[in-house]
Amino acid sequence: MRFTKMHGIGNDYVYVNAFEEKLPADIPALAIAVSDRHKGIGGDGLILIGPSEVADARMRMFNADGSESEMCGNGVRCVAKYVYDHGIARKPELRIETGRGVLTLQMFPGSNGKIDRVRVNMGPPILKFDQIPTTLPGQPPLNVPLEVGGKKFDVTCVSMGNPHCITFVDEVNDDWVLRVGPLLEKHPAFPRRVNAEFIQVVSPDEFIMRVWERGSGETQACGTGACASAVAGILTGRTHNRVLVHLPGGDLELEWAGGDSPVFMTGSATEVFTGEWLGG
């Protein structure tokens, strides 16, 4: 099976062209095997790029533990780059089908003619607590008190097609991300588990973020998490409608006008290498 390794600001996945490659019946097991950083290719998960009846291509995303997720903001930028660069659909604007629905992406080629930046219409945030989903109260839950791992703090919950729990902290550190993050992921308030974002606001136009991703652990970046955090920052009065997000893997530009408006995310997409998976 041929594969391509790609990343969006360090959020790395193994990508397979399902237009051409024959896939095994057990995709979750494949995702676990290829994601292993010691015995496999290594990555935050597996993303399949295949045919769609309603868009230029369809994206399916599997976490490193084999679970399937609805969406990945960094991943969908890479899918669009692959679709454009590999000639599946060479358009300035692409439509990609995801578990969240069909997303529209603007393509920005570099000097070599290949795509190096992508702007994604991520759709409007989902703010109803039962659709996020969470049992925490509010539409959406804003600054709701929670006690996890001996810490008492406030959380804000937003969905971008997948659930996010955002915590604003004085300083983002390992204790928050590596100790509290796993506990939040599996907290009973989140029936489908949750992605946990920890945000340090630098100014109303800028914040630092680290994330513990559902099914993958800490990753270098999370596009949907950055979008959800930008929405949370605006709704809680901490940030403006346009914000620059600093993640361990790089930066993202986010915009949200509020209400039912879509969130726009702009960032890089990088192809690293290709190879053949032998099934070991």
Whether the bond between 133 and the residue before it is cis, its omega within 30 degrees of 0, is yes
Hey, what are 264's tokens?
A: 């726009």
Helix runs in the chain, H state only = 27-35, 73-85, 174, 181-185, 223-235
8-state DSSP, 239: S
8-state DSSP, 126: B
Catalytic choice (78, 157, 222, 227): 222
Catalytic choice (72, 78, 165, 227): 72
Is 92 exposed, middle or buried (CB count within 10 Å of its CB: 0-12, 13-18, 19+)? exposed
Any catalytic annotation for residue 72?
yes
Give the HSE-up count for residue 274: Cα atoms under 13 Å, Cβ half-sphere.
6
Any catalytic annotation for residue 157?
no
110, 138, 109: which is closest to 232 by C-alpha? 138
Hey, what are 226's tokens?
A: 């950055």
Catalogue the active-site residues. Answer: 72, 222
